[in-house]
Amino acid sequence: MTDGTPPSEPDRASGPAGDAADRGAPGAPAAPAAGARTRVSGGFGRYLLKHVAGAAVSLLLVLFSSFFIFRLIAGDPIDQLTRERPVSPEQRAAMRAELGLDQPMWKQFWDYITGTLTMDLGDSFQYRRPIFDLIVERLPATLLLSGTGMVLAVLLGFWIGARAGWRQGSRFDRGQVATGLLLYSAPTFWLGMIVILVFARYLGLFPVNGMRSPSTPPDFWSQAVDIGHHLVLPVLTYTAVVYAGYLMIMRSSVLDELGGDYLTTARAKGLRDDEVRRRHAVPNALLPTVTLVFLALGSVVNGSIVTETVFSWPGLGSLFVQSIFYPDRPVLQALFVLFSASTILAVLCAEILYWFIDPRIRRTG
Amino acid sequence: MTAVPTSPRALRRARTRQSLARSWAAYRSQRAGMVGLVLLSAIVVLAVAAPLLVDQSQLSVTQATGGRMEPPSAEFPLGTDEVGRSILALTLWGSRLSLIIGLTATLAAILVGTAVGVTAGHVGGWYGWVALRVSDWFMVLPSLVVAIALLAVLGRSMGTTILVIALVSWSGTTRLVRAQTLTVQARPYLERARALGAGHWHQMTRHVLPNVLPLVLASATLLVPSAILMESSLAWLGLGDPNVVSWGSILNRASDNGAVSAHAWWYLLPPGLAILLVVLAFMMCGRALEAVFNPRLRGEGA
């Protein structure tokens, strides 16, 4: 896994529950606890406005930093574009004018911002096509792979995590935590290579890479089966590496609920242990974890970049990696903004969702 | 502990020793933590002793003695790579770089993260707000994307690799340290220190920092494995320093030279398992440390 945070319990502390309390401070005046309990500060409109504004500032920062990284640190792209052939100074000047590099820096920045906001992302150096078209073309493959992988990882991780936490210290718990940690410690790309070696090369059960075979008939069902066949190994790899993170989150969330009085009440009513877990403990434990799924989008992006590259999956992640070495700077820049923006928007969604699923946040703002 | 200490300094030293002994006892009771520690020590010993075990000339592409991708044999216990170098030698030497980059990047991240976190929590106000927003921003961005983008423009070297890994990993520490600083600040003994006229610097270094450090140690131990994984991913993508051998760069050469289609499992398994073991060892130690130092987890002997 290439995400920055290992699956440890304090992750939860920095999750939305902790966040909400922390972030309340700058916007709303910190009301004393007793006062906060009686008076709702702000309301949804204000909460929404605050977080949308925060996300907007973050997005603006992404645009600034991408301009900074790719235009200022990176230097003149003409040298890289013309490295194979000799060019006269006039040709260089013409290319610079075509790319808008002869303009003053502030003008370039302005053009860049307005271009990005109107989806005019320029042309790719390697494909000589508009980047927007490239992204639209490759987005479905990425969504298919990372969407399937993420749903599987969340379901598997939550399912095992809830059971492991419920029976803390049991053989099942220790075994599952150990397995999860072991898989989490494996580098995604390496696991992918091993999976290819075993399942595609030795056993020949699945295709080695790509998303579809050229020989498949063009009708819908044959295509769907073929893509599904190609999808198995990448999804397997991706899920194996990331599900442990969700497992640990869910497990510690259940652990937090274990001592709850309402569980004793439920047991006293005569409910079976299984029912107490399913109907009472898990719904409460889910609360802090639901938004973490959104917050983890950064690691989803990381994982899909590596997985797509190992399996030559024709998505945005492999396009990003492929553009490093060309170097296709406009594509790198556009994808940098796209990936970062999507994680920022996911966090915004998590914050908005949190308002609806956790009434406690309405007191603190 | 037996004799009653006389001077304040001796008293302090005795207390430090006592609390260290307590922490160590708590750590020792965690089996996974001890396994991780033993594993980690073994790996570090191997990495340090690598030059004694295998001569550096074995890493040279031109002086390689084996054939192309030979399976394991008596001469090459783990086979050879595409130019005939011993995989065993490469993996042994690779440990040095992976560990150095992982540790250095973590150290840098922890230093920056702790400094920003303590000051943000202690000073607060405008500065604290901005510091928190910036670290939040870094936390949300997909780390691999940022690292790739920066390496693509900064160029590939050990220094830039360390820099970008530190840059994408400092923010978690900041958040943790800031939260802990706020908790410590609210305690009465800080009020006492302020009443006695302690300045900001004294408060931060003598009172806040010592209370924050154990948590920082635990989180640093958990940051090293992600730094090592990040380094290996970057090196595997071809963004590592081209002049040195790391586990990621070995696997990069393996992919580029078709080790998978050649069924050269001996080329793939050793460096990958090495990464897995190191990451696992750090993670086990980190989780045990966390259980010792994090009050939230005390009593949960997982």
3-state secondary structure A197-249: HHHHHHCCCCCCCCCCCCCCCCCHHHHHHHHHHHHHHHHHHHHHHHHHHHHHH
Q: Backbone dihedral region of A251: left (phi > 0), alpha (psi from -120 to 50 degrees) or beta?
A: alpha
Q: Does A327 touch chain B (CB under 8 A)?
A: yes
Nearest CB among B142, B172, B260 relative to A302 is that of: B142
Which of B153, B168, B251, B292 would you mutate first to test chain A, the one with the most A CBs within 10 A?
A: B153
Interface test with B, best of A179, A182, A193, A206 (most B CBs within 10 A): A193
Contact partners, residue A8, CB within 8 Å, separation at least 6? A248, B222, B286, B287, B290
Q: Does A321 touch chain B (CB under 8 A)?
A: yes
Residue in A closest to B302 by C-alpha: A169
Q: Please tell me which of the candidates B175, B260, B272 has its beta carbon nearest to residue A14.
A: B175
Q: Which residues of A touch B225 (CB under 8 A)?
A: 6, 185
By the 8 A CB rule, do B216 and B173 touch? yes
Convert the pLDDT of each residue in B237-254 to its tens digit: 999 888 888 999 999 988
Interface check for B263 against chain A (CB to CB < 8 A): the answer is: yes
Is B143 in Cβ contact with A13 (below 8 Å)? no
> Which residues of chain B from 128 to 147 reach within 8 Å of chain A, CB to CB?
129, 132-133, 137, 139-146
**pLDDT of amino acid B273:** 93
* Nearest-10 crossing angle of helices A297-310, A131-166: 110
Are A190 and B148 a contacting pair at CB < 8 A? Answer: no
Asked if B302's CB is within 8 angstroms of A187's CB, the reply is no
CB pair distance less than 8 Å for A2 and B302: no
B299: distance to nearest CA of chain A, Å?
11
CB contact under 8 A, A187 and B269: no
Chain A residues with CB under 8 Å of B259 CB are 193
Check CB contact under 8 Å for B237 and A2: no
The percent of residues in chain A predicted with pLDDT above 90, rounded, is: 22
ipTM of this predicted structure: 0.86
Confidence of residue A106 (pLDDT cuts 50, 70, 90): confident
Interface residue A306 vs chain B (CB under 8 A):
yes
* B297 CB within 8 Å of a chain A CB: yes
Global pTM value: 0.85
More confident residue, A352 or A74: A352
Q: How far is CA B111 from the centre of its chain?
A: 12
SS3 string, chain B, reads CCCCCCCHHHHHHHHHHHHHHHHHHHHHCCHHHHHHHHHHHHHHHHHHHHHHHCCHHHHCCCCCCCCCCCCCCCCCCCCECCCCCEHHHHHHHHHHHHHHHHHHHHHHHHHHHHHHHHHHHHHCHHHHHHHHHHHHHHHHCCHHHHHHHHHHHHCCCHHHHHHHHHHHHHHHHHHHHHHHHHHHHCCHHHHHHHHCCCCHHHHHHHHHHHHHHHHHHHHHHHHHHHHHHHHHHHHHCCCCCCCCCCHHHHHHHHHHCCCCCCCCHHHHHHHHHHHHHHHHHHHHHHHHHHHHHCHHHCCCCC
The structural domains of chain B, ordered by start, are 38-53+86-298 (1.10.3720.10)
Q: Is A266 on the interface with B (CB under 8 A)?
A: no
Give how far A51 is from chain B: nearest CA, Å.
12
CA-based nearest residue to B291, from B217, B233, B240: B217
Triad A324, A326, A331: Cα angle to 5°: 60
Full pLDDT tens readout for chain B, 302 residues: 456 667 888 888 888 888 888 888 888 888 888 899 999 999 999 988 888 888 777 777 777 677 777 777 777 777 777 777 888 888 888 899 999 999 999 999 999 999 999 998 888 888 988 998 898 899 888 999 999 999 888 888 899 999 999 999 999 889 889 988 888 888 888 888 888 888 888 888 888 888 888 888 888 888 999 999 999 999 999 998 888 889 999 999 888 888 888 888 888 899 999 999 999 999 999 888 888 887 665 544 43
Q: Which residues pair with A130 in a beta bridge?
A: A123
Q: How far is it, in rounded angstroms, from Cα B237 to Cα B33?
A: 32
- How far is it, in rounded angstroms, from Cα A70 to Cα A83? 18
At residue B292, the pLDDT reads: 85
Q: Which two tokens stand for residue B169?
A: 């990993």
Furthest C-alpha separation in chain A: 87
Listed by number, the residues of chain A in 17-56 with a beta carbon closer than 8 Å to a beta carbon of chain B are: 18, 22, 25-26, 54
Among partner residues B132, B142, B255, which is closest to A193 by beta-carbon distance?
Answer: B255
* Average pLDDT over all residues of chain A: 79
CB A52 within 8 A of CB A65: no
Window 191-250 of A, Cβ < 8 Å to B? 191, 193-194, 196-197, 201-202, 208
**Nearest Cα residue in chain B from A322:** B237
- Determine whether the interchain pair B142/A301 forms a contact, defined as Cβ–Cβ distance below 8 Å: yes
Query: Does A62 lie at the interface with B, CB-CB under 8 angstroms?
Result: yes
pLDDT band for A20, please (50, 70, 90 cuts).
very low
Domains in chain A, CATH or no CATH each: 137-364 (1.10.3720.10)
Burial of A186 (0-12, 13-18, 19+ CB in 10 A): buried
Write the DSSP symbol of residue A3.
-
Q: How many helices (H) and strands (E) does chain A have?
A: 18, 0
Nearest to B245 by CA among B25, B87, B76: B87
Q: Which of B145, B233, B280 sits opposite A189 (nearest CB)?
A: B233
Instruction: State the pLDDT confidence band at A108, using cuts at 50, 70 and 90.
Output: confident
B123 touches chain A (CB under 8 A): no
Nearest-Cα residue of chain B relative to residue A302: B144
The Cα A227–Cα A220 span in angstroms is 11
Across A353-360, average pLDDT: 79
